[in-house]
Amino acid sequence: MAGDDQTSMQAYLEKLPPKARVSLEKLHRAIRAAAPRATEGRSYGLPAFLMDGPLVAFAAHKDHCAFYPMSPAVIDAHKELLKGYDISKGTIRFPAGSALPNALVRKLVKARIAERAAKVNKRTPHKGTT
């Protein structure tokens, strides 16, 4: 999203059909609450939250809305909580007009933050190493 990313994400949401817009606005607020330091932008062409790289993304499609935790490991670790949702290795699909529970979104986003932090820490050399 070029320019002011928050405005661009808002513009994306405003262009959606009403049911999808309501669903994704709620998802947007839940993600923002779980990851207040994340920036808004794009990843893989999707509206996304970024924190040391892509964190999570979402989108509206013709027949559904989707939340992208961008991590098969996070989805797999939360499979029990995701029963009843249409999932694949990187996507959680749900009907436009419905919403993912805030507590579920928070758990998934916090898991992604921890996963990203671990990845960044692996790349960061520790003091005293050569």
pLDDT in tens, 38-57: 999 999 999 999 998 999 99
Mean pLDDT of 99-126: 88
Residue 4 pLDDT class (50, 70, 90 cuts): low
Mean pLDDT of 21-37: 97
In this prediction the pTM is 0.87
* CATH (domain of 47): 3.90.1150.200
Q: Please state whether beta strands 65-68 and 92-94 pair in parallel, antiparallel, or not at all (unpaired).
A: antiparallel
**Res. 59: pLDDT tops 70:** yes
**Is residue 117 domain-resident?**
yes
Mean pLDDT of 24-45: 96
How many domains does the chain fold into?
1
**Is residue 128 domain-resident?**
no
**Is residue 93 domain-resident?**
yes
Range of the domain at 40: 5-123
**Is residue 130 domain-resident?**
no
- pLDDT computed for residue 121 by the predictor: 75
